[in-house]
Amino acid sequence: MILANHGLVIIKDLIYISKILAFVVGVSNIIWGSITVTIGIGSIGIAFGVIDLWLSYECHRALALLRLERIRELGDKLIVALILGFLFTWLSVGIILLLAYLKYRKLITRIR
């Protein structure tokens, strides 16, 4: 099985960590937005929370691609998640996804 490759295991772990962090950030943003909606700024928190939950779902789909060994399609999924991670979550999610993408690029270069 291709997942035995050390590089893919690291990529899988980084995406899984990003998925969990994006979910936690999304839920906390929705809670914060719900609390502060009465003063008018809560809608921003709710919107960011929904985007963060969608990012968590994108990470879940990236993990599914990895399980199905569709490595070439994984890069596109990681780029989308990486951009969303930097724009709408805490920087930690974006940085972890950047590390996963860099590992992915290194692995693809080795495969070619």
pTM of the model as a whole = 0.86
pLDDT at 1 (0 to 100): 44
81 occurs within a structural domain: yes
The number of domains in the chain is 1
1 occurs within a structural domain: no
Summarised one tens digit per residue, pLDDT across range 65-108 is 988 888 888 888 889 888 888 888 878 899 999 999 999 998 88
7 occurs within a structural domain: no
47 occurs within a structural domain: yes
The range of the structural domain enclosing residue 70 comes to 15-111
Tokens in use for 52?
């963060």
Average pLDDT, the chain: 88
Q: Nearest Cα to 53, choosing from 24, 80, 14?
A: 24
Q: How far is CA 47 from the centre of its chain?
A: 17
DSSP letter for each residue of 48-60: HHHHHHHHHHHHH
Residue 5 near residue 15 (C-beta atoms within 8 A): no
9 occurs within a structural domain: no
Tokens in use for 51?
């985007």
